[in-house]
Each structure stands twice: as structure tokens, then as C-alpha cells.
Amino acid sequence: MNSQYEELNTSLIEEVRRQINENGESTENAFTSVFISYLTEHGETKVANSTVSFCQNSQDKIKVNAYAYDEYFQTLTLVVSLFNNRPEIARLNKTDATKLCKQATKMAKMCLTKTSEDMLELEESSNIYKLYEFISGLQSIDNISIILLTNKIAGKDIPEDTAINKLPVKYDIWDIERLSQIVFQKRDTEKLIIRFKTKYKYDLKLIKVPQNNGIYDSYVGYISGTCLAQIYKDEGQKLIEKNVRSFLQAHGKVNRGIRDTLKTNSQMFMAYNNGISTTAEDIVIEESNNHDGFISVKEIHGWQIVNGGQTTASVYTAMQAKIPLDDVFIQIKLTVIKNKEKSEEIISNISKYANSQNKITMSDFSANDDFHIELERLSRKVFVPAERGKSTKRWFYERARGQYTVELNRQPTQSEKKKFKDQNPKENCVSKTVAAKCAMCWLQHPDIVSKGLESNFVIYSEMIADGTIPKPDESFYTQMIAQVILFQQCDKIVAEQNFMGYKANINYYTIALLSKYHADKVDFDEIWRTQTLSPELCDLIKDLCYTVHNHLTNPGEENKGINITQWCKKIECWTLLQNRYEIHSI
């Protein structure tokens, strides 16, 4: 068995267990969330916006663990999971894989064919009923995608495509072997090549901007809406991986405006639309077809639409809706980056400085953002203080899922692997979403953190964008790690009290309360120096967590009967805690 699979599987299991312990999630939900986050981190965007929700009825043999809808491709995606909670990697036979996929298919069929009266037997609060509401509320479904996630090794056979009411149903399997391939592979091995002449029979003519430098060449021109839509149909999200808005859905005002122009006033599209900004690693020019200042582009290598993803996807959606695109043309700017060392920096800056259309959220701050790259750099050079002698240990900032495991496997010998582990203990590995969680608790946003790691990370990223979170330096980094240590110790203290529920939310609100009223008793420099908390601070946290527990489980008459988990997500919960604490009424 490949050692990479085993390392990744061990890491994945540890992360699932940590998520169960810290957030109180069920095993199925924790595994599904962690696996999806690995896929999203490494560019598999089909499941990026999934709602993780365990839906199962053993009697009817139906099961779904997560679901999503892609408005651009009008694809309903259902995820079904199989978790093996053992470090030894097991195999998944074809029969069991097919059985799981069929359970999700049966769920889809039930939701698509049954009426609301048929579903009355289910409680409206049940996860299955919520999935039914989600699916029945979709205006249009062109495709159904069933994806099986497992940390076993599946065979090569994938269930054959089928159909539900003439809707095509396609199956896919992500096992530990396939996950390992994307985690450990070099991202640049699969270069996106667009062959305009041979594949699309399109003559892309551009004008080269008359400037000479060693960093980039710039070209401007236009492309037909039909050609752009066809390319997007073939390549999908791979074409807009570096677009800061690649996850935005087509329900924003700007997207509706694009769509309406295409539908009712297509000849004005060129005048009304800002066009697309693109980058490439290289281009192939048809030398015999260059004249009057124009060049004819045969191929573009490594093409990325870094601004204009909404335009591109909206044109594709219009094509799918049979809206004529004969009069639609889009202006295009192409930057061919010659200085490969500055490629990421230039692409990032083009994304940031190009015209803003919608508010930028999660995708604006990927693993390749400068903020996270700098934190990673600091974590590799800043050592934990030692009581005596030379410092030998570090924290490991993981800006992409699986990065620790990748670095460990890069070590050529067992002795080098041991040295790496000694210098970077696994317990000192912290992901960017966990760091964001700890920071947001200290910044007194327990209600936002209670909404989940991904939702919290969106807000944290927006705070980075608007300058609320400063650019990282060594002081910022050591304080961030101290906040992680504070949270970890708080989690242990809360666990020892055996509150029988809501542990994660108690953690969030306890740290926020500590920050609001007792920040003077928290010395982050001292926590970083000692890598632990003082006994006095531990005692204070213990007192505060009882206060928080009493508050969360007694939401007051106005909120009588409210679901406690949902109550924790409301700003009113945090406001009431402060009011109660100030008058000592809890």
C-alpha cells in the first residue's frame, strides 16, 4: 500500500476526530465536511458550496450526506459518504459502491417525483424534508451528479450513468487514492490549453500593445460570445480557477443585468459590459495570418479568466437557454506573463485591481493569497522559544488541506521524516480555517464562528480585505498561535466540565467573554513564550465557561423553545450574554 495514502488517511481521520470533538458534529457530517474541504482546497469546485446534512432512512434504503446546486451548469449534486475510522486502509468493492450510489439516486428520485402531500409523513424539521424542499425549489435541473466520498480504496468501476425522468444521472467516486493524487500532485502538471483554430474553428485576432518589458506582453481585442460559451462548457471552473468571483452564483444584481441584456438587448452587450481580463503562460501565433497590426492566436496555454467570470458564465447560461448569441461579442485583455516567478503576484493583483462588480467573498482568499502565503513563510522560520538551549520546534501553518502530509512525504528518508516530525509536531499543525476560528472568537464574534468554519472564514477574509485584520508580521503570527493555544486549552477545560452538549459554542462564547471583559489578564507574549496558560487564567476560563453554559441553555422568555444551536448563531445571543454578565444576572 502506498505510504502516501496511509499518511493522508491518518491525517484525515485525525481531522475528523478533531472536528467531532471541537464542534460536536456527527461522525458522518465531520467526515463529509473534511473530505469536501480537501476537494475544494485543491480546485474541485463541484462540491464547493455543499450543504452538509446527514439524510438517511434505512427502511427506504435512501441516503445523502451533502447536496449542492450549480446554477451555471444547472446541475444538482448529491454526495454520499462512507467513512472507515481505522488507519488501515480497506478496499471498497463494486457491489457496495453501487449500493451507496443507488441510495442517493433513490433519494433524488423521491424528491423529484413526490408531492408535498406525499412528504407529510416526514417532520418538516427533518433533514430529508429540508433536502426535498431544496430540490423541489430549484427552477431548472439539467443534470444530476452523484458523488461517493470514501477513505477506502475503490475499484476502477464506476456505476453506469442512468436517468430519472429523462434527467441524466452521472456517478463519480472519490476514494483515498484519488484524493491523494490531487493533494500530492503538482498543480501545474495539467496545463489548460485552448486550441482556437483546430478545436473551435475560431480566428481570435488581437492587437499587441506596443511596449517591451521582461515581465509580460499585453494584447487587446474581442471574442465572440458563442466561442467563449463553448470554451466554458468544455473547461468549466478550470477556466476561472484564479478568478476572485468564481464561486458567485448567478442571482446577484450584476449577473441578472448581464442575463437580461443578453436576452432582450444582445446587440448592446459590448457597450454595456466591461469584458474579461485574462492571463496566460504562453500563446501560439499563426505567423502567416498577421497583418495591419493584428495577430491571429492559434492556441493559448495556461489560460485563466481572472476577472470576468460572471460574464463568462452568464454567456454560457444564455447559450444553454437557447438565447441567440450571434450579436454578442466580449472585449478581452490578455496578459501573457513572461516572468514566471512573478506569475502568482501579477495574477493576484489583476484580480484585485480590475473593476469590482459584486462583493468579493470566500474565493477572494484562497490558499494562494498573499496573507496566507506570508503566514506560511513565518511559520517555517519562527521557532517556538526554548527554556534552555537552541529552539528546535515550530508550528506548521497549513494554508492548504493536506499540506503537512505533503511536506512530510517529501522527506527522502525515514530519518529525515523523523526529523521533520520532531521539528514540526503534528499537534502543532494549524489550518487557516482553524486559525481564523480562534482569531474571530478573540475578536468577539462567537455568533459568526457558531455558523461554521467556512462561513466564519468568509467574514474573516472580508475583514482582511477591508484592513480590519492587519497584514501579518512576526508579532501577528506569534499572537495568532497564542490564540490557538488559548482556544485549545479552553476546549480541554470545557470538556472536563461534562456539560453534555454545546461544547463548541461554549468554547466560542467563553473566549469572546474573556476578550471583552478580561483581556488584561491574557498575555499573548507569555502564552507564546511558555506555550501554555497560567493556572490563574485556567481558573478564570473555568468560571466563565459555567457562566456561558448557563446563558446558552437559558435563552430567556423571548426565545423560549428556540433551538440552542440556532440561538448561538444569532448576534442577539452574544448581546444578551454581555448584558447579563455586566449586571451579574446569569
Q: What's residue 150's pLDDT?
A: 97
**Of 531 and 362, more confident:** 531
Q: Is the predicted pLDDT of residue 364 greater than 50, yes or no?
A: no
Q: Is the predicted pLDDT of residue 17 greater than 90, yes or no?
A: yes
Q: Among 184, 213, 229, which residue terminates a domain?
A: 184
Q: Where does the pLDDT of residue 170 fall: very low under 50, low under 70, confident under 90, or very high at 90 and above?
A: very high
Q: Which residues pair with 383 in a beta bridge?
A: 394
Closest residue by Cα to residue 74 from 136, 133, 140: 140
Q: What's residue 241's pLDDT?
A: 63
Q: What does the pLDDT look like over 71-85, one tens digit per residue? A: 766 789 999 999 999
Q: Where does the pLDDT of residue 341 fall: very low under 50, low under 70, confident under 90, or very high at 90 and above?
A: confident
398 and 501 co-located in one domain? yes
460 and 422 co-located in one domain? yes
- Residue 18 included in any domain: yes
With H, G, I as helix, E, B as strand and everything else as coil, classify residue 550.
helix
Type of residue found at 327 = D
176 and 220 co-located in one domain? no
84 and 123 co-located in one domain? yes
Q: What does the pLDDT look like over 100-145, one tens digit per residue? A: 999 999 999 999 988 877 777 777 678 999 899 999 888 889 889 9
- Residue 364 included in any domain: no
Separation of alpha carbons 37 and 563, rounded Å: 27
Range in 245-259, 410-424, 505-519 with the lowest mean pLDDT: 245-259
461 and 538 co-located in one domain? yes
Q: What is the mean pLDDT of residues 476-494?
A: 97
- Residue 48 included in any domain: yes
- For residues 105 and 169, is the Cβ–Cβ distance under 8 A? yes
Query: Whose grid coordinates read 480546485?
Result: 43
The cell for 434 is 482553524
203 and 166 co-located in one domain? no
Q: What is the mean pLDDT of residues 311-331?
A: 86
Closest residue by Cα to residue 586 from 538, 539, 542, 553: 553
313 and 248 co-located in one domain? yes
> What CATH number is attached to the domain comprising 31?
3.40.91
Range in 278-287, 552-561, 568-577 with the lowest mean pLDDT: 552-561
Query: Whose grid coordinates read 525515514?
Result: 414
288 and 232 co-located in one domain? yes
204 and 171 co-located in one domain? no
- Residue 369 included in any domain: no
Q: What's residue 239's pLDDT?
A: 80
Percent of the chain with pLDDT over 70: 90
475 and 575 co-located in one domain? yes
User: What single-letter DSSP state applies at residue 398?
Assistant: E
The residue range of the domain holding 300 is 193-359
Alpha helices in 386-452 (DSSP H): 403-410, 414-423, 432-442, 446-449
Closest residue by Cα to residue 304 from 376, 354, 357: 354
Instruction: For residue 305, give the H/E element and its range.
Output: strand 304-307
Q: Among 147, 163, 184, which residue terminates a domain?
A: 184
Q: Is the predicted pLDDT of residue 251 greater than 50, yes or no?
A: no
Q: Is the predicted pLDDT of residue 351 greater than 90, yes or no?
A: no
201 and 141 co-located in one domain? no
**Cα Rg of the chain (Å, integer):** 26
Q: Where does the pLDDT of residue 252 fall: very low under 50, low under 70, confident under 90, or very high at 90 and above?
A: very low
* Summary mean pLDDT of the chain: 86
- Which residues, in sequence order, are CB contacts of 547 under 8 Å at separation 6+? 513, 581, 586
* pTM strictly above 0.85: no
- Residue 365 included in any domain: no
Q: Where does the pLDDT of residue 444 fall: very low under 50, low under 70, confident under 90, or very high at 90 and above?
A: very high
Q: What's residue 262's pLDDT?
A: 77
- Residue 366 included in any domain: no
Q: Is the predicted pLDDT of residue 35 greater than 90, yes or no?
A: yes
- Residue 352 included in any domain: yes
User: What single-letter DSSP state applies at residue 445?
Assistant: -
With H, G, I as helix, E, B as strand and everything else as coil, classify residue 56.
strand
What are phi and psi for residue 443, nearest 5 degrees?
-80, 5
Q: What is the mean pLDDT of residues 398-422?
A: 88
Q: Which residues pair with 55 in a beta bridge?
A: 64
Q: Is the predicted pLDDT of residue 507 greater than 80, yes or no?
A: yes
Instruction: For residue 278, give the H/E element and its range.
Output: strand 276-280
Q: What's residue 2's pLDDT?
A: 73
Select, from the ranges 47-61, 170-184, 383-397, 430-444, the one with the highest average predicted confidence (pLDDT).
430-444
Q: Is the predicted pLDDT of residue 250 greater than 50, yes or no?
A: no
Query: Whose grid coordinates read 484524493?
Result: 179
Q: What's residue 248's pLDDT?
A: 35
Q: What's residue 4's pLDDT?
A: 82
- Residue 367 included in any domain: no
Instruction: For residue 314, give the H/E element and its range.
Output: helix 309-320
Q: What's residue 261's pLDDT?
A: 75
Range in 56-60, 298-302, 375-379 with the lowest mean pLDDT: 56-60
Total number of domains constituting the chain: 3
Range in 23-27, 247-251, 303-307, 572-576 with the lowest mean pLDDT: 247-251
3-state helix, strand, coil in the chain (%, to 5): 50, 20, 30
Q: What's residue 358's pLDDT?
A: 39
Range in 27-36, 97-106, 248-257, 399-408 with the lowest mean pLDDT: 248-257
**Of 60 and 389, more confident:** 60
Q: Check the CA dihedral 21-22-23-29 and report its sign.
A: negative
**Of 261 and 180, more confident:** 180
218 and 135 co-located in one domain? no
SS (H, E, C) 561-579: CCCHHHHHCCHHHHHHHHH
